[in-house]
Amino acid sequence: MALTLPVAGLFSRLRTFAAAHTNRVKITDIKVMQIQKIAGNSLIKIETDSGLAGFGEAGVSGPMGRARIEAPIPLPGGVEGIGRMRDLLIGKDPLAIEVHFQNMTSLMHYYMANIPTVSGIDIALWDLAGKITGLPVYTLLGGPFRDSIRMYSHGDGVDMMDKGSCRAFADRVKAMPEGFNAFKFGGLGVPSARFAPTLDQSQIRYIAQGYSNIREALPDNIEIACHCHDEFDEPSAVAVAKAVEPVNPIFIEDLLFPTFSQAWMSVRRQVRVPLLTGEKLELLDGFKPFIDNEAVDIIHPDLSFAGGFTGVKKIAAYAYLARMPVALHNVGSLILTCANAHFGASIQNFYRSESQLGEHGNYIYGMAATPLEVRDSHLKVPTGPGLGLDINSDFLKQNLSEGEVYWG
């Protein structure tokens, strides 16, 4: 019952607004394309016989996304024979999003479902649903709870062991037009590769000093978060968390290997800083043990990895029962950024969203034909149909990844 309660009625708004448009539009094609500087993600385009198209972002490369869509699968519903993932969607009503999500995520043969690919398709289906109904995605998802979402950026390009570099970064922060008041820092020269050894005391002091330097340089109103990459063992994770505690971080991210283990519980018992994780977890199954065991303070799904709007809405509803806030991971394009805005507006327990926007992320602004509004660390949620993003096609053509063809 606990699992079904938060899911019941989650998508009633979509069903209500879509009723008048059911079976009037059919999907004609699904395309995947990768552009530069979006952390290896790819863009999804779903075309229809109405001329409308929906756009999404998947947590896989272009070649991988295309391969997954073309991979052989047994068709559902008792249909004999082998088809492809695209055959689950071509010729179908794009508004049947719950049906499509169930079909795509329950694949088991010959390959288990690739949730990052499904995520991108799901985002595109919701964008398309908004365009068909003439409504923003946040309305179809049950919102809005807010008209802008709080964001944070990255402390890229600063040498935290150099006080001069820290002061220079503080000066750059003051000049940023977005007015970001929270930044995430990491990469202090300690082992960050896979299978990192247990940190010694000199490395722990090194980390503590770096965060002390950046805290000293930044104004008091600028919040700091600590970034790890799932590399530490349990004693090192505890030591790192205690080392950064004096700077009062808003959270420390991904201290341990992504999936749940008793090590997470051990760290939770020993440290006092807020813990956050989840950028590589998939569906509610991946997040449920963290929520049930209160192993972290904040969950951090990525819409392009964890299940798109449909999958992450279920995660957020379950987290709400535990009064746990939901942050959103994002190092992707403006498609994912706008998706985060709509999702953040649609749930009560939203915390804040990561963003590439800022000093070292201005590149992706060019993807929008109409500029997004970011002020005082908040992104104004677009109010147009679907994601409300008017995509600059010339930008996409000019920034294709090597070997990619424009929606080829």
pLDDT in tens, 295-340: 999 999 999 999 999 999 999 999 999 999 999 999 999 999 999 9
pLDDT in tens, 168-210: 999 999 999 999 999 999 866 665 556 667 899 999 999 999 9
- In terms of Cβ atoms closer than 10 Å to its own Cβ (0-12, 13-18, 19+), residue 84 is middle
CATH (domain of 67): 3.30.390.10
Same domain? For 94 and 163 the reply is no
For residue 110, is the peptide bond before it cis, meaning its omega torsion is within 30 degrees of 0? Answer: yes
Same domain? For 192 and 60 the reply is no
361 pLDDT higher than 70: no
Answer whether 6's CB lies under 8 Å from 375's CB: no
Same domain? For 278 and 167 the reply is yes
| 136 part of a folded domain | yes
User: How many domains does the chain contain in total?
Assistant: 2
Selection from 153, 142, 183, 59 nearest residue 320 by Cα: 142
3-state secondary structure of 62: helix
pLDDT value at residue 192:
56
Same domain? For 154 and 135 the reply is no
Q: Would you state the structure tokens that stand for residue 316, as one six-digit string? A: 């957020």
Answer whether 56's CB lies under 8 Å from 339's CB: yes
The average confidence (pLDDT) of the chain is 93
- Which residue, of 113, 140, 167, is where some domain finishes? 140
pLDDT-based confidence at residue 231 (cuts at 50, 70, 90): confident
Answer whether 287's CB lies under 8 Å from 312's CB: no
Same domain? For 165 and 41 the reply is no
pLDDT value at residue 178:
92
pLDDT value at residue 358:
75
Answer whether 287's CB lies under 8 Å from 278's CB: yes
Same domain? For 58 and 174 the reply is no
- pLDDT over 70, % of the chain: 93
397 pLDDT higher than 50: yes
pLDDT value at residue 111:
75
Same domain? For 193 and 287 the reply is yes
Q: Would you state the structure tokens that stand for residue 317, as one six-digit string? A: 């509803």
| 62 part of a folded domain | yes
Average pLDDT over residues 135-163: 95
Same domain? For 153 and 65 the reply is no
> What is the extent of the structural domain holding 216?
148-391
Same domain? For 246 and 365 the reply is yes
Answer whether 60's CB lies under 8 Å from 117's CB: yes
Same domain? For 240 and 127 the reply is no
pLDDT value at residue 2:
43
3-state secondary structure of 45: strand
pLDDT value at residue 3:
45
pLDDT value at residue 64:
97
Least confident of 37-46, 58-67, 353-362, 395-404: 353-362
| 34 part of a folded domain | yes
Sign of the Cα torsion 191, 195, 199, 202 reads negative
All residues at 6 or more sequence positions from 130 whose CB lies less than 8 Å from its CB, including other chains: 136, 137, 139, 140, 385, 386, 387, 388
Selection from 336, 373, 370, 335 nearest residue 353 by Cα: 336
What stretch of H or E contains 150?
Answer: strand 148-154
Same domain? For 193 and 280 the reply is yes
Average pLDDT over residues 229-249: 94
Q: What does each C-alpha distance from 191 to 196, 210, 229, 245, 270 come to in angstroms?
A: 5, 15, 10, 20, 22
pLDDT value at residue 4:
44
| 66 part of a folded domain | yes
pLDDT-based confidence at residue 33 (cuts at 50, 70, 90): very high
Rounded Cα–Cα distance for residues 141 and 120 (Å): 17
pLDDT value at residue 362:
72
pLDDT value at residue 170:
96
pLDDT in tens, 36-90: 999 999 999 999 999 999 999 999 999 999 999 998 887 766 656 678 889 999 9
Same domain? For 187 and 276 the reply is yes
